[in-house]
Structures are given as C-alpha cells and as structure tokens.
Amino acid sequence: MPRPRGGPQTTPSTPSGSATPAHGFTPFGNDTGEGAAARPAPEPAPGSTASSGPSAAPGSPSAPNGPTTTGAGSLGAPLAAQGRVPAPRQDYVDAFDRMSAGQRPGALEDVDDDVFAAGAPGRGPVPTAGRPGAFGYAADGAHGEPYEPYEDMDLGGLEAEGDRPGPGKKGAKGRTFTGVAAAAVTTVLAVVVAGQVAEQQQDDGKPQALGEGDRTADGAGASRSQTRPTQQAAPATYDQKMAQVFPLDEKLTASGRFEPVGGDAKAPGHGRVWRYRVDIEAGMGLDGQLFADAVHKTLNDERSWAHGGQRTFERVGSGRADFVITLASPGTTAKWCAKSGLDTTQDNVSCDSAATERVMINAYRWAQGAKTYGPDKMHAYRQMLINHEVGHRLGHNHESCTRQGALAPVMMQQTKFLTTDGATCRPNAWPFPDGR
C-alpha cells in the first residue's frame, strides 16, 4: 500500500452549521428518506470530557474524527496510519458532492459499485488497530482525508428502507477487491521469477543456480554453458600400439615406392656396429614411425642379436647402410623375394632377399599376425618377425623344435607352424630369451 508523504495532515473540520461533512456525504436522514435533517450529536457520558482519550473505542460517538498526535485530545495533527485501506479519490468526493440525490443514477447501487472507495457504503470504517478514528489514502497514492464511520454518515435520502446493503454484499465486494489485488501481486511475482530463471537457463533449457565457483573476477555469473576445451585422451603408448591389430588386405599390392622413415638413431651398445635404414612402402596406411621404433628397440634388446655386446645396431636416415629393412605389401614383398629365388606367396610370409639390400617384412603379417601367436600376442609376434629375418641377414638358417613344450627357436618358421618331428614348441620372439 502507498504510504502518506510529507508528514501528518490536518483533518479538515466541518463548517459550523453545515449538514455536509468533509467526505461529501450528508448526515443520515430519518427512516423516511429525509436527506437534510441532521442526526443529533450524542451527548457525552457523564463525567467525560468533550475530547476522547485513548480509551475511546474507534468509531464510537466519542471518538474523534481522526487520530491525533498523542492519541488523545482534540483533532490536531493526525498520525499517518500504516497499512490503511485507500480512501476515495478527491475527484470522486467532489463529483459526488456536486450531484443531488436525484442525479445519482442507481443511487445506492452506483455508490456501492465503486469498490475502490474506502468510504463507500458497504465497506464501513477500517480503523488502525490500537488507534482511534480512521485515516485513509487516495487510490492514486496522495493523502486522503479522514472519513467518519459508516454509522455516522447520512446518505442524504439515497438509502431507502430495505435498500441498505447487508453484510453478505459487503463481504462479497471485499472478497472481490482482495482477490483482484492478490491476483495482481501473484502475476508480478511470477513475471519477476520467470525473468530471473530465464537468465540462468543453460543451452539445453535446464535452469541452473550460480554458485561462488561460477563467478568471474568482477562478480558476474559465468555461464556453465560456455564451450570448454574437449579433454583429449592420452596418446597410446608404444606397447599399446604394438599390441593392436591393424586392417590390411592379404592380397594388397601397394605403390611399390619406398620412403625412408625414422631418421637417425645411435647404436646404444658395444661391439660391431651394424648400420641399417628403414623403408616403408607408400600407400598402405600403416604407421611407419612405429615400425622404425620397433626395429631399433628389438634389435638392440639384450635378448636379441645385440646380446652380450657382440654387436649393436645404428639406424640411419640416408647414406650407406649394411641392409635396409623394408615394410611392404604382400604383392611387393613377393616381387622382391623372388629376386633372391624365394616364394612368399604360398603362406604370405616374409623373407631376406639376400641378393638385394632389402630384408622384406610382409605388411599383412605385421598388421594381422599369425594363428600360431593369436591376436593377444601381436607384440611378441612382431618382435619375432624382425629377429627372424634379420637373423638370416646375419647368417642364421632355419631351425626346428627339438623338445616338446620348449620355447621355439627364433629361427624356426613360427608363422607357419610350431610343431616339427612330433614336438610342439611354445612361441618365442628372442634368440636369447633368458638374456643369458
């Protein structure tokens, strides 16, 4: 409710001898509808003064027309009542005052229809608790004037016998006004809340509260819907890559063009230094760097041909090399092996083309492995391929299984079989598997 501004207001007094109070209503007439006759003022109780004190009940004949600064005494500077129901607009009062009873269409019903008039018939006084009298406010927020209780007001002939609204009508009007006001407040609150929620919507439409952790340095709310960098998975390690199976057609013949990969890598051991280069046939879609790393790690492992410091292997990216270990498609491998009188097409195997500089590693076997090892031993199988073919370059020939359940010799043709002369060996990738 709007509050009065500017301090206490002086209550206008009724001119002496006038039958019309400040509200513009004539005093109550008699039951015959006489509007000019004023009701006699009640006599004060014996022993009481003309002005009522704090004990005077609001709305009683001895109560003042408005509150005073002290709560007792004559009308002076009235206190501004809080929580007061709005009084009639002054223009309503003036218009009503200018009209005669015969010019008021609908008479009592029209007056009562103005549910916003605090002093209209059917509403009665709404005094402030604990304060005598009544002080209202205009609907537009300006100071209204204190009004008299309903019982002390004369409608000047507007009220006929039986036309005075009863309690039911007054209650209905009050409930209507209260319902309208409550609906308006609810609507405003709904709009405000909806606006706040809309500002905190995520991109997917879900509301989200902002916490301390969601604030920027200047206090503004940081949206959780802002694009965040995608957390990338850690790259696969060397061992993880070596354990994977790669797709490759067993009948593939690629470009036939070789490219060196890996660059230089120093020999880590002692003994005679063997220089080698790594080439890969273009157009197969395989990881050449992985192949180059595998060759260097495998050959210089203590379990491999570098065992005991007899020799060490150095990789070169260009220049002179003792041999070139080459990863090629099945078709290209067969061509280069045929140059040394070897047939690799029957079992799709690899070879050391001794008549050339190339040690040929069949890319199909590198990518897919062999049944003798299975898909769960891809890493070991690839190490075996490298050790077996380089072993030929170093002068070692094929061997067979000599004892049941023993580790297969690395120079055994393990891609084709693990059993010879009735003895079955276990897969083995190293010339010196115990490192001794």
**Tens digit of pLDDT for each residue in 396-433?**
999 999 999 999 999 999 999 999 999 999 999 999 99
Residue 351: predicted pLDDT? 98
pLDDT of residue 225: 53
Convert the pLDDT of each residue in 77-88 to its tens digit: 444 444 455 566
Please give the mean pLDDT across all residues of the chain. 72
d(CA 250, CA 329): 8
Percentage of the chain surpassing pLDDT 70?
50
- Write down the pLDDT at residue 177: 65
Report the half-sphere exposure of 294 (CA within 13 A, side-chain side): 29
pLDDT band at 365 (very low <50, low <70, confident <90, very high): very high
Backbone angles phi, psi at 246, to 5 degrees: -110, 145
Cβ–Cβ < 8 Å for 275, 294: no
**Contact indicator for 73, 51 with CB cutoff of 8 Å:** yes
Residue 172, number of CB atoms within 10 A of its CB: 13
Looking at residue 86, what is its pLDDT?
58
d(CA 344, CA 391): 17
pLDDT for the residue 273: 97
- Tell which wins on pLDDT, 300 or 89: 300
Q: Which is nearest to 381 in space by CA: 410, 358, 351? A: 410
Residue 130 pLDDT > 80, yes or no? no
pLDDT for residue 246:
97
Q: Which fold has domain 238-424?
A: Collagenase (Catalytic Domain) (3.40.390)
pLDDT of residue 334: 98
Query: What's the pLDDT score for residue 383?
Result: 98
- In the chain, CATH 3.40.390 sits at 238-424
Type of residue at 262: G
